[in-house]
Structure 1
């Protein structure tokens, strides 16, 4: 392999046929370049969607009530199904449920501080909501269990509310009027993945007491401990059957009890992207194979042009192995160098796109507000592609090399 004469001959052949070598190498470089672009784009889409899922807990589930559409136990259709505070205790006790937060729906409420005012959404909740929605606290704290028990008049406001009402004034410790009732600001937060932080968070017990909610709850946000699609579906069925018995509706009546299982959606989406990645590999390798076939065809032409030379080599004692080695080395050299150039250009382009995206998107990209994120190719994939090129180069050169080794000297010397 390290025979200097052999390498000098290979380089002399390449130098003699520059255009042919360039076109051969270009087909290989283009194949690996497109493979890197496709893989990087697939990773970008997959990372972007996964990042958006991470804005809330991946194992989150939302449950809400509606009206019955199926007669059940002598009860007519169109009957409203309602949650109450004891249902919150029930759902927390169910196997598979990790955390739960109930909500009494207030709708848009008017906030005012000094001369500033505006309408914003008030989310009434238990402390566990922060686990479900992964909110980031910029100042202060979130709702705690003492706030719930003592029905404290406290509120955590979104960043946009703070900027609109308080401007540059610190909000913590100040009192903001919510529907003309003063509430103490104990925290300022942002919701990852949201460009509008116009929600405020209030203890659900306080909202029920002050705003005539009684013991009514409209929905639940929970996290489950299911790891697989089957486990999450079993927990979902357990919750549905439990409430169907308690609230007296048919288990199959999805209008009576609505559920959104984020883990199920996440797993199914990631499966789709896994299939897309496999499809990308198939297309990319197909493109690469087209380039490798081109190398093999060119090496066949090389063997045809050098038939007499090969015959002379064999006549003076050259072994078939040395002839095969010469052709193989030339094929591997062209394939590896051209492929590496395509590899570097492809990964470099993806890194450049990623850098420009980070610079232009800024805070939005960091919070996961995009469907295209970090479109780079994994280092292990790049190494695997390089090894694939070397093997492909050997395969591309083997058939022409085998043909060259099988040429009989007497036949080769007659060739014109």
Structure 2
């Protein structure tokens, strides 16, 4: 039941003991503030991992060819393994239950010119499915299609910054650029969330690159995407089967670890997410340690407050105050101070996190944040702790006989 006199008395006590009240509130506010900031930093670390590893598709294998490290079936060691177009066809034919898309990639560097502007850019000769792997976002025009591959067209899809470098504010679509001494028509301009480097690539059909390079059918690497419904176990099984298939086709020993390398993005992603999760748990542990430290601080202050007010409690009991009234007065004061200070600390912490944004990106903390419900729960826990911290010494003080309390020094 609300008692106006009781609250008036609490406010008078607070106003008379400003330093004590400030120290109590500061301990609570600091505890919540540190918890919110540390928890937000943990989320910022997680954001960095997601940004770094989620820019490209995660259901992806990158298949690289190397050199054999041991002889096998009459073939000598140190043999150079090369992928060709028929490897793409064979993978499609043998793994339709796993495969979502497949594309080769041939990477080259070339001097690119347009009128008076020129620069060196990395070109990637790819198939249409490469757009899904890189999550390429088309700004203008279109991406490469199957017809471009079949007809070996001299079409180019350029990054946003390539257009900016060579064309300034002009529209690049339909214009011809000199790419390594050959004219290519710009059919599309793309952007990529991976950053500036990703937006300085130029994509052309892989068959066109093969035609330029003496009509070869060789490819540097194979990129394929597996169906997401097969899950992580299915991806690992697919990787194992694919590795075995390619080794058998190219007469490579099953024990040879250097001839063919498959980078499983799903496996790497899982490992990195686990690492990020461990980091966040560590940060969370430290944050909760801060909460516990705040609770201990409140307890110590409340013990001191009750001890300081022992004589006052004796006077109240001598004048007829019940133990319940004494406990209520101390308890309400503790809860009130804890609630106000906790709310202030929470608000400051949330505002601080929101103001940081990407300023700590160099330290691998991107857009730190805390769910408001988490912040409220943490504050509520501290308020409950403040109530308990105030209740225990208050109950002990309420049991003291008035004559003993009045003699307290």
TM value normalised by structure 1? 0.88
Give 1:312 shift: 5.0
Aligned partner (choices 305, 330, 334) of residue 327 of structure 1: 330
Q: Which residue of 2 aligns with 1:9?
A: 9
Report if the CA contact (8 A) 2:113-2:178 is conserved: yes
Counterparts of 1:200-215 in structure 2, within 5 Å, are 200-215=202-217
- d(CA) in 1 for partners of 2:98 and 2:383? 51
- d(CA) in 1 for partners of 2:168 and 2:254? 50
Matched, 1:402 2:395: yes
Give 1:219 shift: 0.5
Aligned partner (choices 340, 343, 347) of residue 340 of structure 1: 343
- d(CA) in 2 for partners of 1:316 and 1:62? 84
Q: 1:205 to 1:7 in 2, by over 3 A?
A: same
Could you list the runs of 5+ residues in structure 2 that have no partner in the other structure?
none
Q: Which residue of 1 aligns with 2:159?
A: 158
Q: Which residue of 2 aligns with 1:129?
A: 130
Q: Which residue of 2 aligns with 1:85?
A: 85
Q: Which residue of 2 aligns with 1:384?
A: 377
- d(CA) in 2 for partners of 1:27 and 1:301? 14
Residues 242-278 of structure 1 deviation map (CA, whole Å, 9 limit, x = unaligned): 2122222234433211222222222222222222222
- d(CA) in 1 for partners of 2:252 and 2:163? 43
Residues 208-266 of structure 1 deviation map (CA, whole Å, 9 limit, x = unaligned): 22322422122012222357544432332222122122222234433211222222222
Q: Which residue of 2 aligns with 1:189?
A: 190
Q: Which residue of 2 aligns with 1:304?
A: 307
Q: Which residue of 1 aligns with 2:368?
A: 375
Aligned partner (choices 210, 215, 218) of residue 216 of structure 1: 218
- d(CA) in 2 for partners of 1:38 and 1:388? 17
Report if the CA contact (8 A) 1:155-1:187 is conserved: yes
Q: 1:317 to 1:246 in 2, by over 3 A?
A: farther
- d(CA) in 1 for partners of 2:377 and 2:86? 57
Matched, 1:353 2:356: yes
Matched, 1:266 2:288: no
Report if the CA contact (8 A) 1:120-1:200 is conserved: yes
TM value normalised by structure 2? 0.89
Aligned residues: 405
Q: 1:72 to 1:5 in 2, by over 3 A?
A: farther
Q: Secondary structure at the match of 1:351?
A: helix
Give 1:410 shift: 5.0
Could you list the runs of 5+ residues in structure 1 that have no partner in the other structure?
none
Q: Which residue of 1 aligns with 2:44?
A: 44
Residues 102-156 of structure 1 deviation map (CA, whole Å, 9 limit, x = unaligned): 1234x22333344544432221111000000012222110001111122222111
Give 1:86 shift: 1.7
Task: State the Cα RMSD in Å.
Answer: 2.6
Matched, 1:139 2:140: yes
Q: Which residue of 1 aligns with 2:20?
A: 20
Q: Secondary structure at the match of 1:75?
A: coil
- d(CA) in 2 for partners of 1:315 and 1:254? 88
Counterparts of 1:79-118 in structure 2, within 5 Å, are 79-93=79-93, 94=95, 95-105=97-107, 107-118=108-119
